[in-house]
Structure 1
Amino acid sequence: MNGRSLAWLATLAGLCLAVLIATSQLLDSRIDAERQAADERALLDLLPPGSYDNHPLAHPIALPASELLGDPAPTRAWLATREGTPTAVLLPATAKGYEGPIHLLLAIRPDGRLLATKVLGHRETAGIGDRIEPARSAWLKIFADASLAGHPEAEWRVKADKGEFDQIAGATITSRAVVSAVQHALQYFDGHRQILLRSPSP
């Protein structure tokens, strides 16, 4: 094989390597973008379509650790706005479930009314406590439109404890934990409105 052939093969190998590197970088970027989109859908699906026009996850609101949110570590919230006006705050909360922590996400309107609630993670008993999951039951919908103003302190209990909220049959401890966590999260929102509803810098 002469020198010209070797040079041609080296050039071809270099081109192939460059194509492989470019393809890998493109695929990595697409995978990252798809992962980010999935993360956004998991958090933003509590918000009605058209209710916001910003990118809430791009500017998280740093929050200190708080017993009301049930988390011993600092956390963060997200503000949804439309035309610069706050429409909802996404606020995480942790309940002390029967089998361990129950991680929740609440969407709260600026007036303090609960828009929606979802479970991000838990270890509750399969077939019983896991009915807090929307795919297993519609139980979390009992909190829709709930607020501190609309429910006096004594009502923030399950009906088994003479409160306002239904409990999941066979999972009273789980139900109590979630009701308490939702109440405490609304209390946190009520005491931190100025921070939570302040529009973040672009």
Structure 2
Amino acid sequence: MKGRTVAILALLAGLGLALLVAANQLLAGRIEAGRQAADERALLDLLPAGSYDNHPLTRPIPLPPSELLGSPPPPSAWLATREGVPVAVLLPATAKGYEGPIRLLLAIRPDGRLLAMKVLGHRETPGIGDRMEPARSPWLRTFTDASLAGHPEAEWRVKADNGQFDQIAGATITSRAVVSATQHALQFFDGHRQQLLGSAGQASP
């Protein structure tokens, strides 16, 4: 009788352990799925809803080292497509801000025009650098549709330097850094268009 009790307890313990392992695996899967969803929201919210039908983050495009994308250089970009046709390239870049690096993400159309951009992180002075955030200021939206073809070299400056782009009040150095990084990212895109867009890169959405 005692041996039977021990066997039953061992069986119950084994079942409990199996259930615990299964629960942990299920929970880990949900945590990973949640993390991936958060990453997608952070990186893909530049793209209009319904404008693409692939999963860009699952196929990163390795980037060659380039000073045009700032330091440290980003390791990869991502391509959004719809029915196999390129919609936009998501290209990270880093600007050299007043207090440290400003990490940017640009969504660039296949024709080289800027669709949208956002700040992923910065160390600029609170209250000043925050003005780069869409909720605080529409400043970044002034870059929409900017392109190398549409803006000659001399225009890629803030208006305080006789350029085309507005600057954030009280943050001219930060503004200069973002304008310069945007121009350089578009130059990188222009020089690596085939690699970034792939074989379908000749088509436009």
TM-score range, shorter chain: over 0.9
Helix, strand or coil at the partner of 1:197: helix
Match of 2:93 in 1: 93
Native 8 Å contact 2:73 2:94 kept in 1: no
CA positional deviation for 1:2: 1.3
Match of 1:44 in 2: 44
Task: Say yes or no: does 1:163 pair with 2:157.
Answer: no
Native 8 Å contact 1:116 1:143 kept in 2: yes
Could you give the per-residue CA deviations for residues 131-166 of structure 1, whole angstroms, max 9, x where no partner exists?
A: 112232221101011111111111111111111111
Distance in 2, matches of 1:133 and 1:100, equals: 17
Match of 2:27 in 1: 27
Distance in 1, matches of 2:74 and 2:43, equals: 18
Task: Say yes or no: does 1:123 pair with 2:111.
Answer: no
Match of 2:67 in 1: 67
Amino acid at match of 2:183: Q
Task: Say yes or no: does 1:188 pair with 2:188.
Answer: yes
Match of 2:56 in 1: 56
Helix, strand or coil at the partner of 1:86: strand
Q: 1:102 to 1:31 in 2, by over 3 A?
A: same
Percent of residue pairs bearing the same amino acid type: 80
Native 8 Å contact 1:65 1:72 kept in 2: no
Distance in 2, matches of 1:91 and 1:42, equals: 13
Match of 2:203 in 1: none
Native 8 Å contact 2:63 2:75 kept in 1: yes
Distance in 2, matches of 1:138 and 1:199, equals: 35
Find runs of 4+ consecutive structure 1 residues off by over 2 angstroms. Answer: 71-74
Match of 1:80 in 2: 80
CA positional deviation for 1:73: 4.0
CA positional deviation for 1:97: 0.1
Native 8 Å contact 1:80 1:86 kept in 2: yes
Native 8 Å contact 1:103 1:119 kept in 2: yes
> Number of paired residues?
200
Unpaired stretches in structure 1, ≥5 consecutive residues = none
CA positional deviation for 1:4: 1.2
Amino acid at match of 2:20: L
Distance in 2, matches of 1:73 and 1:96, equals: 12
CA positional deviation for 1:129: 2.1
Bigger mean CA deviation after superposition, 132-141 or 71-80 = 71-80
Helix, strand or coil at the partner of 2:179: helix
Native 8 Å contact 2:67 2:73 kept in 1: no
Helix, strand or coil at the partner of 2:115: strand
